[in-house]
Amino acid sequence: MGTTGRTTLSARLYALADRIGARGAFLGTLAVLVVVFYYPVGTVLFAAFSDDGALSLAPLWATLTDPFYFGVLSGVIADPASAPGALVGWVEAGFPAVRTGLFGFTAYLAVLGTACAVLVGLPGAYVLARYEFPGRETIRSLTVVPFVLPAIMVAVGFTTMFGTHGTLNDVLSVVGLRVDVAFSLPLVVAALTFYNAPLVTRFVVAAADTVDVRAVETARTLGAPRWRAFLDVVAPQLFPSFLASVLLVFVFDFMAFPIVLALGGLRLATVEVWIYSLAANLDLGEAAALAVLEAAVTLGVTYLYLRYERRGGSGTAGARVERVPLVGPPSLGRLLAAAYAVVAAVLYVGPLASMVAESLTRAGGFSLANYAFLLAQQLGTGGARPTVAVQNSLLFAVGAVALAVPMGVSIAVVTNRSGRLARVGGALLMAPLAVSGVVTGIGLLQGLVFGVDVLGHHIAVTGPVAIVAAHAVGGYPFVVRNVAPLLARVDDDLVAAARTLGAGPARAFRDVTLPLVAPGVVAGAAFAFAISVGEFNATIVLARDTASYTMPVALERYLSNPSVGPYLGPAAAMGTVLLCVTAVSFVVVERLGGRWEP
Amino acid sequence: MKRRDYLRAAGVAGALGLAGCTGDGGTTESTTATTTTTGSTTAGTTGTASASRTLTVATYPSYVDGSDSPGAWLKERFEAAHDDVTVEWSTPTSGSSNINEYIQRAKQGAAIDADVYVGLNTDELVRVDQELDTQLFATVRDDLTHAADVKEGLNVDPKGRALPYDTGYVTPVVDATTLEVVPETFDDLLQSRYRGDLLAENAQSSDTGKAFLLHTIHQQGADGYLDYWRDLLDNDVRVLDSWDAAYNAYTKGEAPMVVSYSTAKVYAANQGEDLDKYQVAFLNDEGYANPESMAVFSGSERRELATAFVDFLLSEEAQRTVPQLNYQSPATTTGSLSGNFAKYNEEPANPVTFTYDELAGNVTEWVEEWARLVAQH
C-alpha cells in the first residue's frame, strides 16, 4: 500500500518535472537573472551607450581612444591609417617598450596570475586525484576555503608571511637568504594564486573522478605505456574542465580588485580598480564604459573557451581509476608530491596561520583582547553581532546553493549543444562573473534598493531573499562550468536507452545523466557555497540593517572601529571565526555531497 | 520621511521576508519644498505635541558601532534632553563615502529617509553640489546658537549648510626607532635616505590619502603638485588602497613612515606601546585639517529637531566628549580633551585646509590627474 502510494507520488512528480522540463527550469532561471542581475546592471551599463540621453557610442569611443586605458592601441583605434607608419617608426627606434595602458597591464597581470594558478593548481590536482592518503577528502574540501577570505585579511596574512620582516624571511635568514617582495608585482601575483589555484585543482579533480578506468585499461592492454595512456585517454577527458578553470581564473584575475590595491597599491591599478574609483566619484558614465569594455574582454574569452568545451573525449562511467597510496616506496611522483606539500604549506598555511596569530596579538604581545572585543560586540547593542553574522552567512549560503544548483544545471543542460548561437548564449549567461562587481553593486542599489514604480506601487527589494538571490546569481556560473564539460561527455545513447525503456525525460535525467555529472554538481555547489559566504559587494548593498549582516560584512565593520584604535586584531579574530566556520562547513557539505547518490 | 511598510511576497514569509517599500511613486522628497514642522519645541523638556518623534541620522558605521562610540553617547544624551524623541542611526552602506547613496537617491527621486547626515568631508559637499541641481541640505547655520564657536579655519561651507563637528590632522607618522633623522619638510621626503620609506593611501578611496594629496597641492600649488608627486614616486612612495592596509604594513615594519593622523600616540599610549615608534612628523610645521561635518537634509520633516541635534553636537558638553570618542580633535573653541588624549594628541603649529570654494571645480580634476600619474608610474 505504502509502496504504491510512494510510486504514485514519485510518478506524479516525474510527470510534473517532465512537463516543466529543462526549458521550464531554464526560464525560471532567466527570470531570477533578469530581476537581480540583467535589469539592475543594465540600468548602469546603459550609461555607456548614452550621451545626454541620446543613444551614442561616444563614451565607449572616448575610452577606447584614451591612451591611459589602451596605450598605443588607442592611437591605432583612433586613426587606423597611422598604424603602418607608427609600426615602422617603432621598428626603426629599435623596439622600445610599448605603452600598453590600463587594459594592457591588467591583461598582463591576469596572464601572470593564471599561469601561476595553473603551476600551483595542477600538481595539487594530480596529488589529490592520483594518491590515496588519510585526510585526502578533508584537504580536498578545504581547498575552497581561500575563496571566502576577505582581501584585507589575506593582505594581513601575506604581509606577515612574506613581508620584509615576515616569517618566510625569518626562516630563510637561517640559510642566509631573503626575499624582498613587499608592495611589488610578485606579491600580488602570489596573492592571486592563493585565491585561484584551488579553482584549477577542484575543477580538474572533479573531472578526474569521472574518468573511465576501463578506457585506460584498454589502452594499457594494447601496449601503451602509462604516460601514453594518460596523454591519449585521460588528458583529453580532463582538458575541457581544466580549460574551464583556466578561463575562470583568467576572468577573476582580469577583474582583480581589492587584493591588488591592498598589497600592491595604486601603481599596480587594474581596470576594476579604476571602475571603483570612477564610481566612488560618481562618474558613472565613464565607469560604465570601462565596465562594458572589461566585460567585452571577459565574455570574449568565455566565448572562445566555449568553442573548445565540447571537444574533449567522450564517455563517463562509474568505474573510477584506483588511487595509489601516497605513503610508499619513494618514486618520482611521491617526491614531487612531498615538494608540492612544502609549496602549499608556504603559500596557504603560512598566511592563514599568520592571520590567526594576528587575532591573538595586541600591541606586539599575546592577547585575547580581540576575542573579548567580539564578545563585547555580541553582548552589546548597535553593532554587528558575530553569531548573527555566522548564522546569516550559513543560512544565505544554504539558500544560495539550493537556488544556484538548479539554475546552473538547467543552464548547462539547455546550452549543451554546439553552434554559434548556443555559444553566444552560453557566454552571455556567464555575465554575472564577467561583469564588474562594482557596477553590479551600483545596479542593485539603484535598481532594487531604490526601487521602481510599477502600476502606481513603489517596489523596492532588500533583505535576506534578495541577498540569497544575488548570491545564487554569483554562484551558478561555477555550477555551469563544472557540469557542462562533464555533460558534454555523457553518451547520448545511454539516455536514449533509458527513454526506450519507458523513462520520461526527467526520470532519465535523474537516473542516467545526473549520476554521471554528479562530481561536477558537487564541486559547483561547493563553489556556490563559497561564493555566497565570501560575497561582500551585493550583501552590503542589500543588507540594510545589522540583522542581515554576514561574516565578511561584520569583519569589515570591525576594521575601522574607533574604540579599538588602529588595530586589525578584531577583524582578524572575525576572520579566524570565518575561517573556522567555513572550513567546518565545507567538510560537512562535501561529506553530505559525497554520500549523495542521485 | 519614514516608509517601512512591509510588502509580503507571495509564498514568502517569516524570517525570509522580502522587505520593501510601498508608496505613491514619483514623490521626490529631496526636491520638493521643505516642510517645516512647527509646533514642536526644540529646547523643551515639555511639549504640547507630545507624539513621539524619531530623528533619523545617517552616518558611517564606525561612528555608531559599540557602546562607547560617539553615536551611542549622542543618542543617549540627546534623547535624555528631549522628551519623546528617539534617535535612530542609519548606516546605509559601508565604505568611505556614504553620501554617494544620498546623491544617487536624490538624482533618481528615491526616498531619503534621514533627517541629518553626519560625516561629510568638504570635498564630498563639493560633489553633492556638483552632481545635484537641487539642494540636498538645508541652510541651518543662522538657526544655531553654537555656530560662532566653530574654530577659525574650520568653517568649510560658505552657504551655512555643513557644520564641522570634529577634525583630524593628517600627517606622516614616523617610526623614530628605525629612522635616524625624522623628515621635517615636504622636500625632505624626496631625499634618497627616505627612498621607499613612505606609505601613503589612495586619494580616490581613503580620507587620509585625499587629505595628504590636498596638503601637497596646498604646499606645492595646483601647477606644481604633480611634479612633486613624480619625484615622490621616483623615491618609491607606496600608495596603498586604505588606511587599514597602510597602517597594518607600517606596524609590521614594512616601512618606517605612514600617512596617518596626529592622534597616533594616543592609541600607542592606550596600548602601552613604545611612543617613539609613533612620532608625528608635521611637515613644514603644518598638518592638513580634515574636518568632518554634519548637515540637515532639506527634505526633513523634522527640521527643528534636526537643527537642535546639530546644535547639540556643537555644544560645549558634546565637544568635550564626542570628538575624542571618535579619536578626533574638537571643532569648536569650547571643546577640550582629557586623559591620554589631552596628554598625547598633537596639533600642528599651522593647520591648513582647503575651503569649499577652493575645492569646488578643482578637486575632481586634481585627484584624477594624480591617480593617472600614480597608475602610470
The span from the CA of A281 to the CA of A279, in Å, is 5
**Whether B375 and A376 lie within 8 Å, measured CB to CB:** no
CB < 8 Å to B22, chain A: 457-459
For an interface test with A, give the residue of B12, B91, B271, B278 to mutate (most A CBs within 10 A). B271
A102 interfacial to chain B (CB closer than 8 Å): yes
Distance CA B350, CA B280 (A): 14
Which amino acid, residue B166? D
Q: Do A383 and B101 touch (CB under 8 A)?
A: no
Q: Determine the pLDDT at residue B169.
A: 95
Helices (H), A415-463: 420-428, 431-434, 437-443
- Point out the residue among A277, A382, A446 whose CB comes nearest to the CB of B371: A277
A15 interfacial to chain B (CB closer than 8 Å): no
Q: Do A399 and B16 touch (CB under 8 A)?
A: yes
Q: Does the beta carbon of B206 lie under 8 angstroms from any beta carbon of chain A?
A: no
Mean pLDDT highest for which of A152-161, A352-361, A377-386? Answer: A352-361
Q: pLDDT category, B344, cuts 50, 70, 90?
A: very high
Please tell me the distance from the alpha carbon of residue A388 to that of residue B15, in angstroms, as a whole number: 13
Cα angle at B259 between B257 and B265, to 5 degrees? 80
**pLDDT per position as a tens digit, A199-230:** 999 889 888 887 777 777 888 888 888 778 77
Q: Do B16 and A377 touch (CB under 8 A)?
A: no
Those residues whose C-beta lies under 8 Å from the C-beta of residue A399, and which sit 6 or more positions away, are A464, A468, A471, A472, A532, B16
Distances (CA, A) of A350 to A121, A161, A179, A194, B249: 17, 6, 15, 11, 17
Half-sphere exposure (Cβ direction) of A30: Cα atoms closer than 13 Å: 12
Helix or strand or coil: residue A94?
coil
C-alpha cell at A463: 533583505
Residue for grid cell 534617535: B87
Q: Which of A404, A387, A401 is nearest to A578 (CA)?
A: A387
Look up the pTM and report it. 0.84
In this prediction, residues A459-478 reach a mean pLDDT of 88
Residues A229 and A216 sit within 8 Å (Cβ to Cβ)? yes
| Residue numbers of A between 223 and 262 with CB closer than 8 Å to B | 258, 261-262
CB contact under 8 A, A383 and B252: no
pLDDT at A562 over 70: no
- Specify the pLDDT at position A137: 85
Q: What are phi and psi of B235, to 5 degrees?
A: -90, 15
**Using the beta-carbon criterion (under 8 Å), do B71 and A382 form an inter-chain contact?**
yes
Contacts of residue A238, defined as CB under 8 A and 6 or more positions apart, other chains included, come to A204, A207, A208, A211, A312
Ranking A175-189, A561-575, A583-597 by mean pLDDT, the lowest is A583-597
Which CATH superfamily is A16-48+368-597 part of? MetI-like (1.10.3720.10)
Q: Nearest C-alpha of chain A: how many angstroms from B305?
A: 22
Domain segments of chain A as ranges:
16-48+368-597, 109-315+330-366
Is the pLDDT assigned to residue B35 strictly greater than 50? Answer: no
Contacts A–B by Cβ distance under 8 A: 205
Cβ(A75)–Cβ(A82) under 8 Å?
Answer: yes
Domains A16-48+368-597 and A109-315+330-366 share a fold: yes
> Closest by alpha carbon to B31, among B302, B303, B296, B298?
B298
Nearest CB among A265, A446, A453 relative to B239 is that of: A265
| Region for residue B60 given its phi and psi (left: phi exceeds 0; alpha: psi -120 to 50; beta: otherwise) | beta
**Which of B22, B65, B204 comes nearest A458 by C-beta?**
B22
Q: Is the pLDDT of residue A1 over 80?
A: no
What pLDDT band is residue B141 in, cutting at 50, 70 and 90?
A: very high
pLDDT band at B358 (very low <50, low <70, confident <90, very high): very high
Chain B nearest-CA distance from A246, in A, is 27
Q: How confident is the model over A99-115, as a mean pLDDT?
A: 93
Q: Does A553 touch chain B (CB under 8 A)?
A: yes
- A109-315+330-366 topology per CATH: MetI-like fold (1.10.3720)
Phi/psi for B296 (5° steps) reads -100, 130
More confident residue, A468 or A18: A468
A556 part of contact set with chain B, CB < 8 Å: yes
Asked if B15 reaches chain A (Cβ–Cβ under 8 Å), the answer is: yes
Q: Is B13 on the interface with A (CB under 8 A)?
A: no
pLDDT-above-90 percentage for chain A: 26
Tell me which of B123, B248, B276 to substitute to probe the interface with A (most A C-beta atoms closer than 10 Å).
Answer: B248
Is A98 part of the contact surface with chain B (CB cutoff 8 Å)? no
For A233-285, write each residue's pLDDT tens digit. Answer: 788 888 888 998 999 899 999 998 888 888 888 989 999 989 988 888 888 89
Which residues in chain A are contacts of B170 at CB distance < 8 A? none
Distance from the Cα of B213 to chain A's closest Cα (Å) equals 14
A116-157 pLDDT, tens digit each: 999 999 999 989 988 888 888 888 888 888 888 888 788 888
Dig out the grid coordinates for A182 from the structure.
613587499
DSSP assignment letter at A445? I
Burial classification of residue A89, based on how many CB atoms lie within 10 Å of its CB (0-12 exposed, 13-18 middle, 19 or more buried): exposed
Q: Does the CB of B220 have a partner CB in chain A at under 8 Å?
A: no
Is any Cβ of chain B less than 8 angstroms from the Cβ of A544?
yes
A365 DSSP assignment: E
Q: What are the tens digits of pLDDT across the range B189-213?
A: 999 999 999 999 999 888 999 999 9
Nearest CA in chain B to A375: B66
The strand pair at B116-120 and A365-366 is best described as unpaired
User: What percentage of chain B reaches a pLDDT higher than 70?
Assistant: 85
Least confident of A296-310, A440-454, A505-519, B12-26: B12-26
Name the grid cell of B93. 552602506
Cβ A196 vs Cβ A250: under 8 Å? no
CA distances from A351 to A143, A156, A190, A365, B155 (A): 14, 8, 11, 19, 46
ipTM score of complex = 0.82
List the 132-191 stretch of B: residues with Cβ below 8 A of A.
Answer: none
Q: Does A462 touch chain B (CB under 8 A)?
A: yes
CA A556 – CA B245 distance, rounded (Å): 12
Which is higher by pLDDT, A361 or B74?
B74
C-alpha cell at B216: 601637497
Band (pLDDT 50/70/90 cuts) for residue B294 is very high
Tens of pLDDT, residues B68-110: 889 999 999 999 999 899 999 988 765 446 888 899 889 888 8
HEC sequence for chain B: CCCCCCCCCCCCCHHHCCECCCCECCCCCCCCCCCCCCCCCCCCCCCCCCCCEEEEEECCHHHCCCCCCHHHHHHHHHHHHCCCEEEEEECCCCCCCCHHHHHHHHHHCCCCCCCEEEEECHHHHHHHHHHCCCCCECCCHHHCCCHHHECCCCCCCCCCCCEEEEEEEEEEEECCCCCCCCCCCCHHHHCHHHCCCEEEECCCCCHHHHHHHHHHHHHHCCCCHHHHHHHHHHCCCEEECCHHHHHHHHHCCCCCEEEEECCHHHHHHHCCCCHHHHEECCECCEEEEEEEEEEEECCCCCHHHHHHHHHHHCCHHHHHHHHHHCCCEECECCCCCCHHHHHHCCCCCEEECCCHHHHCCCHHHHHHHHHHHHHHC
Cβ within 8 Å, pair B12-A465: yes
pLDDT in tens, A9-25: 777 777 777 777 777 88
Of B20, B204, B248, the CB nearest to A281: B204
Q: Is A377 at the interface with chain B, CB within 8 A?
A: yes
User: pLDDT tens for residues A64-88?
Assistant: 999 899 988 888 887 888 878 878 8
Partner residue opposite B110 with nearest CB, options A269, A451, A466:
A451
Residue A450 or residue A289, greater confidence? A289
